[in-house]
Amino acid sequence: MKIQQLRYVVEIANQNLNVTEAANALYTSQPGISKQVRLLEDELGLEIFERNGKHIKSITPAGKKIISIARELLVKTQAIRAIAEEYTQPNHGVLCIATTNTQARYMLPAVIEKFSKQYPNVSLHVHQGSPNQLYDALLSGEVDFAITTEAQYLFDDVILLPCYKWNRSIVVKPDHPLTKIKNVTIEELGKYPLITYTFGFTGVSDLDYAFNSVGILPNIVFTATDADVIKTYVRLGLGVGIIASMAHTSADTDLVAIDASHLFKSSTTQIAFKHSTFLRNYMYDFINYFSPHLTKTKVEEAEGLRDNAAVQKLFEGIKLEER
């Protein structure tokens, strides 16, 4: 059994059983991958993949267990390399992060600027996607960190560090009737068509909860994953926007932001990484730049707990910054 063979079966699973895509991702040939997978199956005496002729159609029950363990082994081999590099090239490396569009656009630029000045020889890659995509990227080892707010139930089997709290703003054009109301209510908001985030990104579930609590069905006419897209359609007069407050900036001079923190529960942004990840010093620094209360000492303490309930309890006494 070879590490490369395990890498092949994991990548086939990552690429939705498409061997050609797996070969492209690993910069090798399709026949080479197929041959090595067959050799591994022969050695183990069972099939990892169920085939229809030459085409893979599913993963066998045994294959699912093998691939799960193989993922962990590959992470551990990466950790071994990372340990070596930490001693031989402490300020060189790669850091891959997965997050949503809003976080990437409005929260990460200042952090990345500071990090890049401190670590010019660390190659930084930011992937954007939905909570499910963030989790898949983290689980597959494609990224080191996932920065997430919604669907945190997906991340039960990784370490979640609470970073900061945030809430929402209503955005409208300056002549909109809502600008004349001192304290907008859910009932008033419910009179207008709404434009907000796609479910599972940053707050549709909380929005639904707020409307349902007063027995109103929100009229959501358009959803998007990107706050800038939401603002564009507000400008076109399609409806009233509900976005993360951080996404309304001084550049949005043609839109009025109305605080909606009294209408919706605050959300907590968290940074996630796998238990088996070896965090290099520059990774601890990135976490600290993103959220100052997450010092290396605190993160190491959280790593030792190995249980998210205990991790959350560790930070109970810390008042998270509101952004």
pLDDT tens, position by position, 121-133: 999 999 998 888 8
Alpha carbon 197 to chain centroid distance? 15
Mean pLDDT of 35-61: 90
pLDDT tier, 234 (very low <50, low <70, confident <90, very high otherwise) = very high
Contact of 162 with 320, CB cutoff 8 Å: yes
Token output for 149: 């707010």
- Alpha carbon distance 41, 15 (integer Å): 19
- Residue 151: the pLDDT is 60
Token output for 17: 């059983």
pLDDT tens, position by position, 204-224: 567 778 888 888 888 999 998
Domains of the chain with CATH codes: 3-83 (1.10.10.10), 90-163+267-322 (3.40.190.10), 168-259 (3.40.190.10)
pLDDT tens, position by position, 263-316: 998 888 999 998 878 899 999 999 999 999 999 999 999 998 877 788 888 888
Q: What is this structure's pTM?
A: 0.78
Task: Spell out the residues 6+ positions from residue 157 whose beta carbon is closer than 8 angstroms to its own.
Answer: 275
- Residue 203: the pLDDT is 47
- Is residue 40 pLDDT above 70, yes or no? yes
Residue 63: half-sphere exposure toward Cβ, Cα within 13 Å? 21
- Is residue 196 pLDDT above 50, yes or no? yes
